[in-house]
Structure 1
Amino acid sequence: MRSPVPLSLAGMTVLALALGIGRFLLTPLLPLMQADAGLSLVGGGWLASINNIGYLLGALLCTALALPQRASLRSGLVLVALGTLGMGLAPSLAPWLLCRFVAGVAAAVLMVHGIAWCGAHLRRHGRLGLEAVLYSGPGVGIIASGVLVAALHGTGLDSARWWLAFGVASAALTALIWRTLDAPAAPAAATVTKGDARDAGPTWPLVAIYGLFGFGYVIPATFLPLIADAQLHLPALREWFWPLYGVATVLATLLLGALPAPRNNYAGLAGCCLSMLLGAALCLYWPSRTGLALGTVLEGAAITPVVMFTMRQAARLAPRDPTRLIGALTVAFGIGQIVGPPVAATLAAHRHGFAAPLELAALASALALALALSRLGRGALSAAAPGSSCAPSPRSPRTECR
């Protein structure tokens, strides 16, 4: 049996490649592509949107089909590397759209199966504290890509070479964790009764909150360097806001992982939605270096913890096997992400600024916050801690959660 530490590191790497490369490498490279490849703002919005469409379809695939976990993880990693390399080799928008679509499908498969695979092993080993390592993966990927692009800005590397470099790095990391993924899926730790699942509450509020958050966060997550440039008019500084976003993501995830889990996952979700709302408001109403930096930190601090709290709740709602519920949640998230970039890019192009897109992001975050608070008020999970494990009671055939 493999140690949970390398398994959690492998899970972290899977999520780093899924989101840090497969999903969000476009963010720090978008200004470069505008400068050296002639990409328009609306074209950049469509590149982000087609990636989100692929993400949605990948999530639907995971929801509809019981895909083999190990093969899904390995195939997803290979496709992320190929899609990234293709961005550097392709000469125009049409093949770029195909590459981003492929990377989006692969990212969703990696998110769904990476979380299910690694989470099951951590629960089996009784090491839920290592969840924070797993969920820090997207932030690690964002930091690595963002810092490299910002630090080497102006060295003569064009956007095509950056895509190729990250494609090679993705292939190398895939080779590094290939053998670790041989660890089979961990069996379910417990059986539960229908009453236990019902007591955890309905699934639709969780799906709705996650979908609204997907729309709210994707606007700054896609256009943050351009927002910084438009507000500050400091091109040399704009690239550094994206790695700052990643640092906030990692630190918030590790901090929350070290703290006792809240008794209600909706409390954590409400905190994430509030953080995103305040971050969007700061970017909108305090357009200075300080305001934008604080807004970036608040937005970044929410993005991975919201995944952690959502997946904890999914594990409570579907304790036997949450893979398909995770897929359904990823579908809702993907729908929000698909709508966000083209709407934001079109509004920004017509309004000559990002005020209207940021207002939409704030509105979606406010709606998600209201829904999370409504579930929190009902005390849907007050009877058990969200990070608890469920096991059959020696005194009763019903499951006890502790």
Structure 2
Amino acid sequence: MKTSIINRMAPRITNQTYIAFTGLYCLAVVMGYGRFLFTATLPDIMTQLTLSTTIAGWLASVNYMGYFIGALIAMFVPERTTWQTLILWTAMSIITTMMLVLSNMPLMLWYVVRLLAGIASGIAMILSTTLVIQNFSAERRSLLSTVHYAGIGVGISASAILTWGLLALGYHFDMIWLIAGISSLPLLWLLLGIRPSSTAEPNLQPRSIRQTYINFKRSLIDAISGNGKAISLLSASYVLAGFGYITSTTFLPVMATNQMANAYAGLQIWLVVGVCIIVFNPIWGILAKRIGEINTLIGLTLLQAFGMFSPLWFSGALGLYANAIIIGMTFAGMVSMTLNIIKNMNPVYSNLLVGLATLAYALGQFIGPLVTVALAGDSDNFDAGLLAAGIGLFIGLVLLLWFRQLPQKAI
């Protein structure tokens, strides 16, 4: 793509606030739609396609496996091609969103589409974060980073509102996914605007697979040097964090639809999750400045663990709404705290360390739905899955407390 053509298509965006909101839009598309619109539309998908809970769980897990693969790919993307790769995979995210308008697709094609959507989400999540945050000045980074991460909550809220509105008008998941894809298209133009300031074309000298592996291995060794124990503890806790929250963020609307008389209960409760992410994420950033990121992360992990138990302690709407509120309060905060902690262990290799953490999170998310549907059995009872999620989060909490006891130089 020639620089002169790009300059004519979209002027460069240099205002930091505008860049932050472009990042918000990007996460809303690749995460809010690319990953979590599936949660909002899942009850309707299961009804229209007569899917079992087991198949729904596998569709979710395939997407999360794609997220794992995407995070792995992003770790190999050279810095000089970050922007180009982000454009490519954001476009793929939008395409896979719009493909679900084909409601009569074979099941195997559903798996392929959801896998590609997950890969796109993983790559775009990491690369957009890298590209956007590096444009922020030191004094504005904390505030504007929360704007960027709020995109996840905005996307979840938008997915709930869009699904709720179109279902009320008599449409189904196919039209919902089409409208989501169309509303995502302006993002590509905005991403052209936050291209790197250098007008030179990137040097795309081909490398052998062996040389790429050698370079990656060398960088990985340098990145974890002196921090191996700390990175292992934090990554293991992040696996359990991904495992813990995913039961709710995959099946919460299904649980609400099954337990509550209101036909739109699942979407109302999913909207609560998104709004709470938007409202509370900046608060955790302010709190972290006062008590530290690791202490904030420990508190959020404890709170989220109790949130998993709330539907078991309180039946019906009370338990489900408590779960939704706590998930929304803690989800983005736990992500941003963990990524900030791990990338600051070795700022020179921050992209690589963020990629490692994202791999850990994605692994937990892949396992979570499979464990949940296995425990649910034919009865579609998610109580055992919630219990396992809560226990996993408590184990992750112990690992974080151990992590905090390490010498300061190790973390």
1:48 paired residue among 50, 54, 60:
60
Report what 1:84 is aligned to: 97
8 Å Cα contact 2:230/2:403 also seen in 1: no
CA pair 176-65 structure 1, distance change in 2 beyond 3 A:
closer
Taking structure 2 as the reference length, the TM-score comes to: 0.85
Whether the 8 Å contact between 2:93 and 2:121 is mirrored in structure 1 is yes
**Alpha-carbon distance between aligned partners in 2 of 1:152 and 1:243, rounded to the nearest angstrom:** 15
Contact 1:267 1:372 in 2 (8 A): no
351-360 vs 233-242, greater mean Cα deviation: 233-242
Q: Is the 8 A contact 1:136 1:304 kept in 2?
A: yes
Q: Alpha carbon RMSD of aligned pairs, Å? A: 2.5
Q: Distance in 1 between matches of 2:381 and 2:227?
A: 47
Deviation at 1:344, TM superposition (A): 1.2
Determine the structure 1 residue equivalent to 2:24: 12
After superposition, the C-alpha distances for 1:72-128 in whole angstroms (9 at most, x for unaligned) are 210121011000011112523211111111110010011111112222222457533
CA-CA distance at 1:267 after TM superposition? 1.0
Which AA in structure 2 matches 1:371? L
Aligned partner of 1:249 among 277, 296, 308: 277
3-state secondary structure, aligned to 2:243: helix
Q: Which sections of structure 1, spanning at least 5 residues, go unmatched?
A: 186-193, 384-402
Match of 1:210 in 2: 238
1:234 corresponding residue in structure 2: 262
Query: Structure 1 CA distance, aligned partners of 2:303 and 2:125?
Result: 23
2:251 to 196, 216, 223: 223
CA distance in 1, matches of 2:268, 2:344: 38
Q: How many residues align?
A: 375
| Partner Cα separation in structure 1 for residue 408 and residue 197 of structure 2 | 35
User: How far did residue 55 of structure 1 move?
Assistant: 0.6
Query: Equivalent residue for 1:300?
Result: 328
**Cα deviation, residue 328, structure 1:** 0.8
CA distance in 2, matches of 1:53, 1:382: 31
- Whichever structure has more helix as a proportion of its residues is 2
Matched residue type, 1:117: L
Counterpart residue number, 2:39: 27
1:17-53 superposed Cα distances (whole Å, 9 cap, x missing partner):
1210111110010011112222222121111111111
Matched AA of 2:179: A
Partner of 1:340: 368
CA distance in 2, matches of 1:374, 1:234: 44
Question: Corresponding residue for 1:373?
Answer: 401
**TM-fit CA distance, 1:368:** 0.9
Q: What residue identity is the alignment partner of 1:55? A: Y
Instruction: For structure 2, list consecutive stretches of 5 or more residues without a partner in the other structure.
Output: 1-12, 200-221
Deviates more, 1:277-286 or 1:216-225: 277-286
Shift of 1:333: 0.8
Letter in 1 for 2:99: G
Superposed CA offset, 1:306-358 (max 9, x none): 11101211221121131111111111111111111122123223343111110
Deviates most, 282-291 or 58-67: 58-67
Q: Name the counterpart of 2:208.
A: none
Q: Which deviates more from structure 2 when the two are superposed, residues 25-34 or residues 258-267?
A: 258-267
Percent identity reads 27
Answer yes or no: is the 8 Å Cα contact 2:43–2:257 preserved in 1: no
1:178 maps to 2:192: yes
